[in-house]
Amino acid sequence: MAATPPVQQQRELVLSVSSLPPHDRAVVRDIVLANTSGLSPGWLISDTDEGANGSLLPPLSGLEQNANAIELRHSGNASTIFELNRPLSNPHLVQSFNRIGTHYLSRIQGRNIGSDRNGTWIGNLVGGLFGRRDKRSESRRLDILLAGSTGSGKTTALNTISSPVLFDEVAATNNTLTTAHNTSIAIDYGFKEFDAFYIHMHAIPDQARFARMIKPALTACNAVLILADATSEDPINDVCRQIELLSELGAIEHPLLIAYTHLDVRNMPKNFTQRVAAHTGFRIPAIPLDPRDRGSVTRVLSLLANACGTARSIQ
């Protein structure tokens, strides 16, 4: 009988939930069991770390209590960390598991993903080298950060304007989350060419601990779009928190724009931009955005692209 190809051994990923409270363990296990046929690759949930490919990490206290993280381990004491928003619910968890699992298997099988530093945005920006990029776009590349709270529409906007939406792995330069020597943070990444620009979009992690770990990458951008969720309990505080983080990271000097999302559900508080300016000292223009509508996303990106074009030359 022929030997089983090595790839067959990686069709299921074992995820430890030993760090979670009992209720969350049960929720994750029930969702995985109920969606076995819809998960590719398959996931097995374990209560112990032994033999697991990775761990589902609990949220921190305070402002970051709304997000978990999945840490998947590789050979050589390396790992990749994925932000996982709460609540741990179906179908959000199934969708996240499928994207994370596919990316993880591609990485360990050596396919072209974010660990190829010659072709990624972090290699291009921080290193100043553009690798194998499209030569037609050499003079018009634009890198935009999408910031915003959990559920504000960052990934939805990327899905609307870019196909496909990928994970890019950014090396962590300040790592306090794990004991792995070589840690990468996986972030949502998309790209779109229109008008005079070749736009690369990168969704900044909502968790400050992740953002601080990849500070050099986040500061090497051309513009920032902050998504303000109208359905949030406190959208003003959400945006102020994002601005303070961006200011700490040194990204506040770039052109900024606030985009109001979920306005079909609820209106934004009155005098929103004035109240944000009073709290942060930054008066930032704002515009409505429907992350599900291609025309709406294109219009907002065009505004930022034009602001960059008039503010400074595009490398």
How do residues 34-63 score in pLDDT, each as one tens digit?
Answer: 998 889 888 999 999 999 999 998 876 544
Give 102-141 pLDDT, tens digit per residue: 888 887 776 544 433 334 444 444 433 333 344 444 447 8
Residues 239, 276 contacting (CB under 8 angstroms): yes
**Dist CA 259 CA 227 (whole Å):** 5
Residues 197, 142 contacting (CB under 8 angstroms): yes
Confidence of residue 10 (pLDDT cuts 50, 70, 90): low
Name the CATH code of domain 132-177+186-311 (choices 3.90.1820.10, 3.40.50.970, 3.40.640.10, 3.40.50.300). 3.40.50.300
154 has pLDDT over 80: yes
Give 230-289 pLDDT, tens digit per residue: 999 899 999 999 999 888 888 788 899 999 999 999 999 999 999 999 999 999 999 999
Provide the pLDDT for residue 281: 92
* Domain spans in the chain, listed from the N-terminal domain onward: 10-108, 132-177+186-311
**Dist CA 310 CA 212 (whole Å):** 29
| Three-state secondary structure call for residue 93 | helix
Mean pLDDT of the chain: 80
Residues 68, 27 contacting (CB under 8 angstroms): no
pTM for the structure as a whole: 0.77
